[in-house]
Amino acid sequence: MTIEKSIYTYQLPDPISMPELKSETSPLQQKVLDRIIEKDWLDLTTEMVRTGQPHSVNPLDPDIPAGEEESIAIFVAGKLEAMGFEVEKHCSQPHRPNVVGTLKGSGGGPSLMINDHLDTYPAVEPDRWDKCDGNPFKATRHDDWLYGRGTSDTRGNLAASLLAVKALIDEGIKLKGDLVCCFTVDEEKDGLHGSIFMTQTMGLKTDYSITAEPTAWGGETDRWGMNISVANSGHCLIDVTVKGLKSHIWRPDTGVNAITLASQLVAPLNAMPFAHEENDLMGHTPPCVCVVRMNGGLPGEMQFSPDSCTMTLAVVGILPGMTIDSVISDISEVVSAELAGLENVEFGVSQVPGSLFVNGTEAVPLDEEPNLSISKAYQALLGEPPLINRKNAFNDTIRFREAGMNAVTFGPGEDGWSPINEGISIPKSVAAAKIFALTIMGILGVVDTK
């Protein structure tokens, strides 16, 4: 096993494309597709963006309490019950129910899970959301885009999947395999009380899984599409603490300012390489560091230079084979080299308490489901095969892949995660709903009722 160190530039790699699959829609499939209309997607997404908010907001920060997804969970559970699903709710924490709906097939087909999550990431500066009149949870249309917190990650994707399932049921489609809709909590905090709880404690498992999360590309350009993310990169949170020597501000020459030292580490950490194995799908973001916090100095001590400063680093782009130990070792090596020879200086590198190390996943082969059926449906609707990539970010696909499922990510949300004025393309969302419907039929099989 070869471990190499290299630094990647922030440039999109050459896309990998599925081979073209000849595909045309049948009259029955067309009837299903005709039931999926823009207005229904807009109405459902708009309602879900505001439902239970801001209670469903769930920051990655381990030291900030998680959200409560109960209201949106009850909402989507009701939608599934109305469609005839057997619905169960499973809680690892109060007011945070994971929703699992099962539509039993006639037999003779595999099982497929459609997944999405119920929490959203924070919107802590509402006044900057000018696309939504200063209210991040007021979904607002501008041309072919719908803006609001959760539109892209991931209420709009969830709406597309629900409309796909509803179109099948309303058309009277009988499936051979079992269809499972699993909507989880705690995804924004890496799934401990959601996908981890559901797979490891409740034993959730299907043959195949599709997480309806952002994989779209093209932004507002004329040409756009959606990737199939057949693998994911991992991430972790690391604390780097630098300790110096406290002194009076009138005599900085007698001390060692820890904040100054920590600041000098930012540039080399941003540029550092990580030990990793080469992979066919490297992901758009290489293994790298993003400084997300810097804390130093004590209240009431502005007369003194600080003797301790802690930087929190998000390490992203983690690939299969990288471990928490290898990440800490690589960072320690850089910090040690930068601080070498300085007197009265110490440092420590450790995983942030309460955070999880998320592994990168191995890719689902392109010639296996659900990749084949998604690609065939995509070709039929959009006239070309989808692109294939490794998704930069965490989503529940990782936990389902770890549980042994052929799990991939596909959805109309923009794979960019805008902090402010989050938005989603309406045409992409309607197209995705139709692709979901055809994919479900392709994987599970349809009972001939003639």
Residue by residue, DSSP assigns 9-58 as: -S-PPPPEEPPP------HHHHHHHHT--HHHHHHHHHHHHHTTTTTTB-
Average pLDDT of the residues in 226-234: 96
In this prediction, residue 3 carries a pLDDT of 38
Q: Over 90: is that where the pLDDT of 93 sits?
A: yes
Measured CA to CA, the distance from residue 189 to residue 192 in angstroms comes to 7
- Give residue 450's pLDDT: 63
Q: Is the pLDDT of residue 18 over 80?
A: no
Looking at residue 9, what is its pLDDT? 37
Coil, strand or helix: which one is 258? helix
Q: For 313-360, what is each residue's pLDDT tens digit?
A: 999 999 999 999 999 999 999 999 999 999 999 999 999 999 999 999
Q: How confident is the model at residue 117 (pLDDT cuts 50, 70, 90)?
A: very high
Query: What pLDDT score was predicted for residue 204?
Result: 98
Taking residues 68-84, what's their average pLDDT? 98
**Confidence category of residue 17, pLDDT binned at 50, 70, 90:** low
Which residues, 6+ apart, have CB-to-CB distance to 34 below 8 Å?
none
CATH architecture of 13-232+361-444: 3-Layer(aba) Sandwich (3.40)
Band the pLDDT of 449: cuts 50, 70, 90: confident
Predicted confidence band at 284 (pLDDT cuts at 50, 70, 90)? Answer: confident
Band (278; pLDDT cuts 50, 70, 90): confident
pLDDT over 60 (residue 6): no
**Within a 10 A sphere around the Cβ of 6, how many other Cβ atoms?**
11
The answer to whether the beta carbons of residues 98 and 186 sit under 8 Å apart is no
Q: Where does the pLDDT of residue 22 fall: very low under 50, low under 70, confident under 90, or very high at 90 and above?
A: low
Spell out the residues 6+ positions from residue 323 whose beta carbon is closer than 8 angstroms to its own.
Answer: 357
Please report the pLDDT score of residue 282 as a whole number: 85
**pTM across the whole model:** 0.92
Specify the residue for token string 């990440």. Answer: 327
- At 19 the pLDDT is 56
Average pLDDT (204-231) is 92
Query: End-to-end distance of the chain based on CA atoms, in angstroms?
Result: 56
Domain 13-232+361-444 identical in fold to domain 234-351: no
pLDDT at position 415, please?
84
Tell me, what's the pLDDT at 436? 98
pLDDT of amino acid 13: 42
pLDDT recorded at residue 23:
62
Confidence of residue 223 (pLDDT cuts 50, 70, 90): confident
Domain ranges (residues) in the chain: 13-232+361-444, 234-351
Mean pLDDT for the chain overall? 93
**Residue 109's pLDDT band (boundaries 50, 70, 90)?**
very high
pLDDT category at 24 given cuts 50, 70, 90 is: confident
Neighbours of 81 (CB within 10 A): 12
- pLDDT above 70 for 179: yes
Q: What is the pLDDT of residue 243?
A: 98
6-15, 19-28, 428-437, range with the lowest pLDDT: 6-15
260 pLDDT higher than 50: yes
Average pLDDT over residues 410-417: 90
Domain 234-351 fold is: Alpha-Beta Plaits (3.30.70)
Sequence length of the chain is: 450
More confident of the two residues 1 and 261: 261
Q: Quick one: pLDDT at residue 14?
A: 44
Supply 50's token pair.
């505001």
Mean pLDDT, rounded, for 241-253: 96
Q: Averaged over 133-140, what is the pLDDT?
A: 97
List the single range of 5-19, 208-222, 350-364, 387-401 with lowest mean pLDDT: 5-19
Asked whether the predicted pLDDT for residue 199 surpasses 50, the reply is yes
Alpha-carbon dihedral 264, 265, 271, 275, rounded to 10 degrees: 160
The amino acid at 305: S
64-86: average pLDDT: 97
pLDDT of 200 over the 90 cut? yes
Mean pLDDT throughout 236-257? 96
- Predicted local distance difference test score (pLDDT) of residue 10: 34
pLDDT band at 5 (very low <50, low <70, confident <90, very high): very low
